[in-house]
Chain A
Amino acid sequence: MTPELLIGAITLFVLSIFLGVELITKVPSMLHTPLMSGANAISGISVVGALLGANVAYDGGQTVISGILAFVALVLAMINVVGGFAVTNRMLNMIAGKKRGD
């Protein structure tokens, strides 16, 4: 990693935090839980890291444990992602979907 890359990553990090702060303003209380649950599903983005980590060959006996760790991470992240979006969807169908007949 070069200093330029690191500075780029830090820039991304800081600006995204500011964006995240601005994104959420006034949220009605009935949406607190779905918003939390939806955001939670997005935090399962570490699935990307797990995918990259699990992509290892299992022939030479090398990198076995790191591969297993990444595999477990992949399973957990997928549970978080799929379960999180599905449960959010269920909640929203009940509260937001039926309102005002649309």
Chain B
Amino acid sequence: MFEDWVSFGYLLSAILFVFGLKKLGHPRTAPKGNQYGMMGMAVAVVTTVVDMHFLPDGIVGWTIIGSGILIGSLIGYIMAVKVEMTGMPEMVALFNGFGGSASALVALSETWKWIEGTSPEPGLETTVTVVAAGLSALVGWMTLTGSLLAMYKLKGGIEVFGKWIRTPTWGPAWLNPVKGLLFISVLVLIYLSIDDPTNTDYLWAIIGVSCILGIILVLPIGGADMPVVVSLLNSLSGIAAAFTGFIINNSVLIVAGSLVGASGLILTVIMCKAMNRQLSDVLFKSFGGSEKQELTRTKVGSDAEEVAMMADGAQKIIIVPGYGMAVSQCQHQVKEFADLMAEKFGTEIKYGIHPVAGRMPGHMNVLLAEANVPYEQLIEMDQINPEFSECDMAIVIGANDTCNPAARTGEGPLAGMPIIDADQARTVVIIKRSLSVGYAGVDNDLFYEDKTMMLFGDGKKMMNELNSAIKEL
């Protein structure tokens, strides 16, 4: 009797996921939302274990199940705690790949039961299972290879035997029809395997083509579009879980999977809007990073004392952080600078945060919050931009594309991307290791303007020098 009601646990779990996702979208309730998600997952796992207990054989694989849960949790926890906040975007991409492949592996495992046991009778159940397993494999394996490639793209490259190899961005126009062809061929393979579900040739072909699809989907995408792709892959891993739900006819997999799939897609569209891009352009028009512009101009660098003199008595300074701040981990020095200026000259300090500064939205917020920068000083791009014209100094730390005026021209890879108007400030200080181009591979006119002072060097080192120069004023 009791066992018939176990599935109510899945309903509770689904409700918790709905509330969790809802609350994650608002700053005040977001931590609670995450907790709801955790609870939902715990309820789902407990429900499943209780459910299995009532199976005819009960739970026969205790050791396997227990060790699987333990090993996975341990690895996941250690990875999550150990990761530097700089590497967080890559970590999200990697976890996402794991999720997608887990769904695909469950599908494969179910199919393999037929291969090892008895072939199924043709009928509705077999058809549904084969189609769902095929679709789950398509989306799941695609998510795995796509996410892994996205991870290395976010890192910028891969180290092989001590040699740094840059992750390529490559995508000629003819690749798009190829994607369509491969996609259709997977669908055909799934259709063929309905009549022959235990044919491993079809199985491997589906897996292989899906893996290739994931790679060529992500390969042409570069520049600031990477977060959008990771978000899209996240949506796909949800869809994979939903398809897996059809195989084992499990309600919570279907509900949670399609919830993530749909909300992930909406989030992807929201992120595109923040960059003034269309999702279809991101996916099918090769953009950024493919060809780097040659540098033809030079600029004389300044030193910390000069910058300190210019900063002397400033009323208002806006700091524009970018990925370089994350790499050099100089957020604490930045905070120290802000405190020094406020203390010495009563300077008003604000931070202008571009929606995609760093490698992921929110990246800068996380880093600056870690350095105890007050939340109120972190201003989003749209609000901060009108303020540059009245500010004495804009300090750009390790950012490039997000304040490149080339985006306003309507040409080139950055065209149409909204930027931080740092060039409107009276003086612009740019802390950067060199004049080299940013992620999108476009030279930045801002560097060469007369009012711009370049501080060439590592972010942390230059901020330290600047801070001691300020102290000596």
Spell out A's residues near B (CB within 8 Å).
1-3, 5-6, 9, 12-13, 16-21, 23-58, 62-67, 69-100
Given contacts A3-B124, A25-B25, contact A87 B92 (CB under 8 A): yes
Q: In the complex, what residues of A have CB within 8 A of residue B264's CB?
A: 20, 36, 39, 43
Contact B253 A45 (CB under 8 A): yes
Asked if A38 contacts B41 (CB within 8 A), the reply is no
Report B3 CB to chain A, min CB distance, Å.
15
**With A and B bound together, what is the CA distance between A38 and B242 in angstroms?**
17
Q: Provide 8 A-B residue pairs closer than 8 Å at the C-beta atoms, listed in order of the A residue.
A: A43-B264, A44-B98, A51-B45, A55-B55, A55-B59, A72-B105, A74-B102, A76-B102
Q: Determine, out of B29-37, B276-284, B287-295, B459-467, the stretch whose residues face the partner at the interface.
A: B29-37
Instruction: Determine how close the nearest CB of chain A comes to the CB of B388; give it in whole angstroms.
Output: 19
Confirm or deny: B336 has a beta carbon within 8 angstroms of a beta carbon on chain A. Answer: no
A45 to B100, CA, bound (A): 10
Partner of B20, one of A38, A67, A90: A38
A39-B267, A42-B259, A86-B80 as given contacts; A9 in contact with B375, CB under 8 Å: no
Query: A29-B356, A66-B110 given. 5 additional CB < 8 A pairs?
Result: A17-B258, A33-B88, A40-B237, A78-B71, A94-B365
Given contacts A30-B353, A38-B34, contact A54 B65 (CB under 8 A): yes
B52 CB within 8 Å of chain A: yes
B37 CB contacts on chain A under 8 angstroms: 38, 41-42, 85, 88
Is B48 interfacial (CB-CB < 8 Å)?
yes
Q: Give chain B nearest CB distance to A17 CB in angstroms.
A: 4
Contact of A20 among B113, B247, B261, B353 (CB under 8 A): B261
CB atoms of A17 and B68 under 8 A apart: no
Q: Given A3-B124, A38-B20, A63-B116: A79 and B68 within 8 A (CB)? A: no
Q: Which residue of A is nearest B112, CB measured?
A: A66
Are A76 and B361 neighbours in the complex by a CB distance under 8 Å? Answer: no
What number of B residues sit within 8 Å (CB to CB) of A?
A: 120
> Shortest distance in angstroms between B314's beta carbon and chain A's nearest beta carbon?
27
A34 and B34 within 8 A (CB): yes
Q: Are A36 and B231 in contact (CB under 8 A)?
A: yes
CB of B220 within 8 Å of the partner chain: no
B125 at interface, CB cutoff 8 A:
yes
User: Which residues from B are CB-within-8-Å of A53?
Assistant: 106, 109-110, 248
- B113-146, CB under 8 A of A: which get 1 and which 0? 1011100000011001100000000000000000
Residues on A with C-beta less than 8 A from B248 are: 49, 52-53
CB neighbors of A among B58-105 (8 A): 59-61, 64-65, 68-69, 71-73, 75-77, 79-81, 83, 85, 88-89, 91-92, 95-96, 98-103, 105
B91 and A83 within 8 A (CB): yes
A90 to B61, CA, bound (A): 34
> Does B309 lie at the interface of the complex (its beta carbon under 8 Å from any beta carbon of A)?
no
| A54 in complex: contacting residue of B61, B108, B247, B254, CB < 8 Å | B61
B49 to chain A minimum Cβ distance, whole angstroms, is: 7
Residue B158 is within 8 A (CB to CB) of chain A in the complex? no
Contacts of A90 in B (CB 8 A): 80-81, 85
B108 and A69 contact, CB distance less than 8 A = yes
- B270 located at the interface, meaning its Cβ lies under 8 Å from any Cβ of chain A in the complex: yes
Chain A contacts for B88, CB-based, 8 A? 33, 87, 91
Against A, the Cβ 8 Å flags (1 = close, 0 = not) of B216-252 are 0000000000010011001001101110111111111
Instruction: Please report the C-alpha to C-alpha distance between residue A30 and residue B124 in the assembled complex, in whole angstroms.
Output: 46
Complex-state Cα separation, A27 to B268, whole angstroms: 11
Nearest A-chain residue to B52, judged by Cβ: A55
CB within 8 Å of A: which B370-399 residues: 370, 372, 375, 378, 380
- B327: chain A residues at CB < 8 Å are none
Question: In whole angstroms, what is the CA distance A77 to B44 when docked?
Answer: 13
Query: Cβ of B92: which chain A residues have Cβ within 8 Å of it?
Result: 33, 36-37, 40, 84, 87
Whether the Cβ atoms of B362 and A31 lie closer than 8 Å is yes
What's the minimum C-beta distance from B454 to chain A, rounded to whole angstroms?
Answer: 28
Known contacts: A29-B355, A57-B60. The answer to whether A75 contacts B240 by CB under 8 A is no
Distance in Å: Cβ of B425 to nearest Cβ of chain A? 22
Render B406-446 as a binary contact track against A, CB cut-off 8 A, 1 for contact: 00000000000000000000000000000000000000000
- B61 in complex: contacting residue of A46, A57, A65, CB < 8 Å: A57
Min CB gap B232→A, angstroms: 10
B119 CB, min distance to chain A CBs, angstroms: 14
In the docked arrangement, what's the CA distance between A68 and B234, Å? 25
Smallest CB gap from B275: residue in A: A29
Partner pick for A87 among B80, B241, B274, B362, CB 8 A cutoff: B80
Most buried by A among B20, B25, B76: B76
Tell me whether A80 and B255 are in contact (CB under 8 A).
no
The CB with the most chain B CB atoms within 10 A, among A32, A48, A100, is that of A48
